Amino acid sequence: MEATTTRSVTRARMGSGLAVTALLLPFGGYGLARAGVAPEGTPIALGLLSAIVSFVLLPALCEERVPFRHSSSYLIAHTLTGERAVDLNRITTVWLLTTFSYGSVYRTLLVRDAHGVRLGITTERSRRKLRRAIEKADANAARGAPRPRVSRAARAHLGLAPGRGLVVHTVLAFLLLTVSGSLYVVAVLRLGRQ
């Protein structure tokens, strides 16, 4: 299982690196345009393409895809970057990622374990398994074991807390996505005009 964990971490870092590189492409295009190697509109074209690819790709990099397997202590799933195995007995953080598309809200529980493996949980079966693991960790914390950090919104989505945190989280996620996307487009458009 240790080899799978190492491969999972390496693939995750490589996938995240590609997504960040895609977001930074317009700035490279700006440098090439200033040097006269590329046309002046290169940053705008790269920026719009990069924004679409990155905002779609980033959340999907670690999301579970079928087929997936469960064991007594591991949640193993295929992702875009390969197979990942999260140790449910050594969860360190759980937080909720909310995205929007065509009037729908999509929620992914991002789980990270002590090995640094990250997995986006989207299926009901995996959510039940994660919920049991968090309840077990909470019970063990009463006996002095370390407790994983679970966001209020993730607890609400799992049914471990009142749902009010989920409403606030959804509004903040929408505002953050809208503002960050707008600022990125403005920055790319300014680069294209210079």
Cα–Cα distance between 129 and 176 in angstroms, integer?
30
Residue 33's alpha-carbon distances to 8, 27, 28, 46, 58, in angstroms, are 38, 10, 9, 12, 27
Which of 152, 79, 153, 85 lies closest to 113, judged by CA? 85
Give 189 or 150, the one with higher predicted confidence. 150
Q: By the 8 A CB rule, do 147 and 92 touch? A: no
Show the CA angle centred on residue 96, arms to residues 57 and 155, nearest 5°.
160
- Going by their DSSP bridges, the two strands 118-121 and 104-113 should be labelled as antiparallel
Given a cut of 60, whether residue 180 has pLDDT beyond it is: yes
pTM: 0.74
Which phi and psi angles does 74 have, rounded to 5°? -125, 150
| Sequence-distant contacts of 151-154: CB under 8 A, at least 24 apart | 151/94, 151/95, 151/96, 153/95, 153/96, 153/98, 154/94, 154/95, 154/96, 154/109
**Does pLDDT of 95 surpass 90?**
yes
| pLDDT reading at 72 higher than 90 | no
Check residue 5 and give its pLDDT.
55
Q: Count Cα neighbours of 167 within 13 Å in the Cβ-side half-sphere.
A: 3
